[in-house]
Amino acid sequence: MREEPRAEMRTLALRVWMVCWLILVWVLLWGTISAANVLSGLVVALVVTLLLPLPPVPVEGRLHPISLLRLGVLVVYYLLSSSVQVAALALKPGPPPLTAVLRVHFAVKSDLVLVLAVNIINLTPGTMVLEIDQPRRMLYVHVLDVGSERTVVRFYRQVATLQRVLVASFERDADWRAAEKEATP
């Protein structure tokens, strides 16, 4: 079957973006911008994208820029506030804080959005996703401070807010259509 022209353009734009991104990473790894670094980065990027391609990830729904901006602000807020909380725990005299592994149900439809959620949680100081139960959409998260009911409730509220904003940014029901699964021979 032939893809729609719009889907072909989207795929081409994604591939060009990936090559540009890999060139940028290559130049940053070398530390200097030069013609040789850019050209060798282009060669490496083409080898990686053409000889070692990743499997296609189905992307459903639409991107909502206002909600995406809200997500960015929320993530920055979580990073800053969690950094302050972890610093306060580190400087606080006495025994180390009580830690635990908490189970969180993350009701998102797309694996891509689930991965984004896991990355946001992992980037937030004081939390680390230890296990992902993909079929049930359960995350097992190590949380640094669970010494009081208030801190546990705050963690669950933070995850619920993150989930709402991710769904508003990428998975609104009105825009959602499930990707068609390709039949395997």
Per-residue pLDDT reduced to its tens digit, 81-119: 999 999 998 998 989 899 999 999 998 888 888 999 999
pLDDT one-digit tens code per residue, 3-44: 577 777 777 888 898 899 999 999 999 999 999 999 999 999
Which runs of consecutive H residues, i.e. helices, occur in the chain? 5-30, 35-51, 65-91, 111-123, 149-170
Residue 159 to residue 165: CA distance in whole angstroms: 10
Q: What does the pLDDT read at residue 175?
A: 65
Whether 143 shows a pLDDT value over 80: the answer reads: yes
- Burial category of 135 from C-beta neighbours within 10 Å (exposed 0-12, middle 13-18, buried 19 and up): exposed
Q: What is the edge-to-edge ordering of all strands in the sheet holding 100-105?
A: 100-105, 138-143, 127-133
pTM to 2 decimals? Answer: 0.70
**Bridge pairing between strands 127-133 and 100-105:** unpaired
Q: Give, as one character, the DSSP assignment of residue 119.
A: H
- C-alpha distances out from residue 56 to 47, 49, 112, 146, Å: 17, 12, 11, 39
* Average per-residue pLDDT for the chain: 86
pLDDT class of 73 with cuts at 50, 70, 90? very high
